[in-house]
Chains A and B, each alone.
Chain A
Amino acid sequence: MTITEGNATAVADTPGIQQPRRGALRRALRDPGVLVPGVLLLVIAAACVLAPLLTKQSATRSSIEDTLAGFSGDHPLGADGVGRDVLARLLYGGRESLLGALLATVTAAVVGGPAGLVAGYFRGWFDSAVNWVFSLLLAIPGIIMLLVVLVAFGNNIYLTMAALGVLLAPNVFRLVRAAVISVRGELYVDAARVSGLGDARILRRHVVRVVVAPVLIQAAQLFGIGIIVQAGLEFLGLGSTTSPSWGAMLNDAFANIYQGPLLTVWPSAAIVVTVVLAALLASGVRDVVQARGRARTVVRRRKPVTRSAAGSPPQPMGESLLRVEDLCVRYRDSEVVRGVSLDVRRGEVLGIVGETGSGKSQTAFSVLGLLPPDADWSAAELRFDDVDLLRLSDRQLNAVRGRRIGYIPQEPMTNLDPAFTIGWQLVEPMRRHLRLSRPDARARAIELLDRVGIRDPRRVMRAHAHELSGGMAQRVLIAGAVSCEPELVIADEPTTALDVTVQAEVLELMRSLQKEQGMAMILVTHDLGVVADICDRVVVMRSGAVIEANDVTGLFAEPAHAFTRTLLRSTLVDAPMRAPLAVPSAEVSA
């Protein structure tokens, strides 16, 4: 039996807290996911309240001749171990079970809600104090405390359920507090404060409304927990010995489990059905609230739709290392890459330039099979050397990725695994692809780090991502990309996130590595200065399509497309003068 509430992500899962939505609850009431469990719960409650109308039997009168009686007109569900009518006990007993659970839920909301509101809105010492007390409450094994409370207060089940409410209050507190903290940072709350609204008014008008939906969702779950805990206590033989309840019925059934196994089924069903309905009600409300927010993307695999020209013999590749033919990428309704074709020859540097959102990065990801799962993509041809990338399974693709094609990402700080050391992240692919022993892979990783200009490579091997500067992290990522001596490296705006001084060094490092290993490179960038520096050929993209492709000198000398001319003009005006680049030496920003 679990008193603590598992749904720690209730806040994160409830986009409703991000902005207040009028009518969300009214809408919820029309949704079948809410309506059906809600109405059924009401039916159960009504049946319990109206018990005298539904059965003439008493829930407490026992008769010896009816002991363990089977189904009959008098006892539609039979009679229990001391001859009491099961149906009557189920109906009358529900009163105590439902009322007790309701009491626990309300207590939890009343104790935890306002505390969370005040703590989240004003923070400070009150927040830390209450937070501390409530986290202590969460660590208390609830049932044990309730046993003691129950005994200390003369078996009063309602007092005990109120105590349960206090033990459950931290859940409400945390939910409300987190919701308030997040809404407090919103601009419209700032605006309200600037326009002179008092704290009480802001709390009432902006904050409370935001908190209502998540608290209602949680209340339904807490109600379920209340039913369960109360039944558990009564099953143990605690609480009133005379008044009927579902837990007391289970206790009686347990005593007669061999003679009357069916007796176990009725109260079990009553408990489980009620709790299921409460849980469904909670998730129904959540779905409605969430439906307006960001639809959560569930990871899915979708087979790429290949539009390969069937029957046509493989084209002679010439010097082409990578050939992309008619690549399309779309997300739901928007097509972000439309029919891109390009070639990369061995040892050359191809620049892909374009504005933000022109589809450059998406093109690069497609080659590596790294598009997100909700992307729909297709290509007439996607060939790397002699490998048809379109036909590879994930496993086969993994033999190419990292080994023959390397990747350098844009944002160094988020592209290293925060939980593993730098050394581990460099060593793992080399052991896999190059079949190196661990010491050999380590030695090579240290060499590589040294080569990319990291000062104390042995120390960095033991470091984690959060201990590195952006420039160092990017050097580590470059080392990772070239560690297995790939034939092609795809670099996705590798210098955009770096300081200007570091940018030049990293670019120079990439150029020298490219020359040294004789590898081809695709350099995705929006910086024509970078293109002029190191590219042999350029592809210009706009709105998902290639609008111009030429070698660098040709493109800069006579741009064919008007957009390219605009790009060039803006670059020439804004570009800083480039000094000749020095060979990278020590890490500057480390």
Chain B
Amino acid sequence: MLKFLARRLAGAVVLVFAVTALTFTAMSAISGSVARQIVGQTASAADVQAKAAELGLDRPVWLRYGQWLGGAIHGELGRSWFSGESVGSLLGGKVPITVSLVLASVVLSVVVSVAIGVAAAVRGGWIDRILQTLAVAGFSFPSFVLGLLLALVLAVQLGWLPAVGYQPFTEDPGLWLASITLPTIALTVQVVAATSQQVRGSMVDVLQSDFVRTLRSRGISAPSLYLRHVLRSAAPPALTVLGLQTIGLIGGTVVVEKVFGLLGLGTAIVSGSTQGDLPVVMGVVAIMVVIVVVINLALDLAYAWLNPKVRTS
């Protein structure tokens, strides 16, 4: 168990390192023109040079990355090149928005995928056919298109839910829920389409195994048989799919935030990257990779809980 966790943790560290290093290198490639943009088109070449030196652009990339990494480990993400504001405080208010969306979508996805997948595997028939159709439909509706259509119909035309804006949970949980409902639904559909398929598939496989027949012979009730025993053995492959889908979902928040006017991390990275604001982009990337890593570790723990062989070996 400890070995299993240690391996996963090591992988997580490498991932954080690799993604931030790649991003830093790519962003540095365009940093040359950024100094000019900051000081303005009318500034002299000397001013541009001075600005570049101030930003440290005259030093090698690996050195600057090392410096950034050293700061980031201590929670110091630097200052925005354009506004001069500290990246930590700039992003601090945006993290809850994106994390709300991601967590709500993961929770909703798990609940719905399990419900549909189990029903389709156990009942078969029309539920199963609906699931197959939904899987194709869900795959084909990207979250932002779905979000746009939802916003168009439910918020713009019918006015049922707010189309834009975020309400902090701490101020009014009801409004918070209303403000993230549509974006969460938009993000969930694709995840559910893939995950419920996997839940169904592995449920069908487990249902054919010997131990299920023996459990039936013991007269165990249907809910316990399906939800406790069969689902538990069927869950690991579904967790793998859910993990991959969650990573995609984190990317999806960037687009969905724009649709629903949520000023989260996605909005920050879009404006940051178009400007070439390296510290802001690095800040967002670092936070998002950490979110990915935390969710993956949580899934690994769930995996170990579900599969006793992992724990004892």
Contacts and interface: CB of A to CB of B under 8 A. Distances in A.
Contacts of B136: 276, 279-280, 283
B251 A1 contact: yes
A77 interface: no
Contact of A415 (B143, B151, B211): B211
Given A145-B23, A148-B273, A415 B308 contact: no
A148 B26 contact: yes
Interface string B227-255: 00100110001001100110111111011
Interface in B106-126: 121-125
B220 interface: yes
Contacts of B219: 397-403, 429, 432-433
B211 A138 contact: no
Contacts of A2: 143, 190-191, 194, 245, 248-249, 251-252
Interface string B208-231: 111101111111111010000100
Nearest to A394: B222
A276 B137 contact: yes
Nearest to B265: A144
Contact of B124 (A148, A280, A300, A425): A300
A258 B156 contact: yes
A253 B198 CA distance: 35
Contacts of A228: 142
Interface string B2-30: 00000000010011001100110011011
A147 to B, nearest CB: 5
Contacts of A191: none
Nearest to B246: A4
A518 interface: no
A494 to B, nearest CB: 12
A417 B248 contact: no
Contacts of A280: 136
Nearest to B195: A6
Nearest to B153: A261
Contact of A6 (B27, B30, B244, B288): B244
B156 A370 contact: no
A148 B277 CA distance: 11
B76 to A, nearest CB: 21
Given A143-B251, A145-B23, A298-B124, A464 B215 contact: no
A254 B147 CA distance: 11
Instruction: Give the secondary structure class of B's interface.
Output: helix
Q: Which of A135, A272, A477 has the most CB of B within 10 A?
A: A272
B148 A250 contact: yes
A299 interface: yes
B283 to A, nearest CB: 12
Contact of B247 (A141, A254, A275): A141
Given A141-B250, A145-B19, A297-B208, A238 B274 contact: yes
A151 interface: yes
Interface in A368-397: 368-370, 372, 394-395, 397
Interface in A80-139: 135-136, 138-139
Nearest to B242: A6
Q: Which of B232, B240, B270 has the most CB of A within 10 A?
A: B270
B211 A414 contact: yes
Q: Which of B156, B220, B284 has the most CB of A within 10 A?
A: B220
Contact of A268 (B149, B190, B204): B149
Given A13-B201, A147-B254, A415-B214, A138 B244 contact: yes
A288 interface: no
Interface stretch (A38-46, A181-189, A229-237, A541-549): A229-237
B262 interface: no
B240 A429 contact: no
Contacts of B312: 464, 466-467
B44 interface: no
B252 A1 contact: yes
Given A139-B247, A414-B211, A418-B211, A480 B218 contact: yes
A254 B139 contact: no
A299 B124 contact: yes
B173 to A, nearest CB: 28
A147 B26 CA distance: 10
A141 B288 contact: yes
A581 interface: no
B198 A6 contact: yes
B210 A368 contact: no
A140 interface: yes
Given A151-B27, A264-B152, 11 more contacts: A2-B249, A7-B194, A148-B26, A151-B273, A152-B27, A221-B139, A250-B144, A258-B156, A299-B121, A403-B219, A418-B211
Interface of A: 1-9, 12-13, 135-136, 138-145, 147-152, 221, 224, 228, 231-232, 235-238, 250, 253-254, 257-258, 261, 264, 268, 271-272, 275-276, 279-280, 283, 296-301, 365, 368-370, 372, 394-395, 397-403, 405-407, 409, 411, 414-420, 425, 428-429, 432-433, 464, 466-467, 477, 480-481
Interface of B: 11, 14-15, 18-19, 22-23, 26-27, 29-30, 121-125, 128, 136-137, 139-145, 148-149, 151-152, 156-157, 190-191, 193-195, 197-198, 201-202, 204, 207-211, 213-222, 224, 229, 232-233, 237, 240-241, 244-245, 247-252, 254-255, 258-259, 269-270, 273-274, 276, 281, 284-285, 288-289, 292, 296, 306-309, 312
5 contacts: A136-B15, A261-B152, A264-B148, A275-B140, A466-B312
